[in-house]
Amino acid sequence: MKIYAQKGSRLNDDDRLEIARLLIKAGYTVRIGREKKDGQGVYLNFVEYLGKGGQNGEEA
């Protein structure tokens, strides 16, 4: 599951790191990434996490 900033707001590096830190502390596998928006020159930053059981966003 991916966490993006809401429209009209931004997540800075510190915000993304804090979200990742909390998810890691709770036992999730976390990845911080960046992807290009469909056909545009805009990049979206996100925090992606996998559930505790290794399932995508679900607990075992």
Contact 19, 33 (CB under 8 A): no
Written as tens digits, the pLDDT of the chain (60 aa) is 999 988 878 889 999 999 999 999 999 999 999 999 887 888 899 999 998 766 664 554
Contact 52, 59 (CB under 8 A): yes
Q: How far apart are CA 49 and CA 32, in angstroms?
A: 9
- CATH architecture of residue range(s) 2-50: Orthogonal Bundle (1.10)
Contact 50, 58 (CB under 8 A): no
User: For residue 6, what is the DSSP state?
Assistant: P
Q: Parallel, antiparallel, or unpaired for β 43-50 and 29-36?
A: antiparallel
Question: What pTM, to 2 d.p., does this model score?
Answer: 0.75
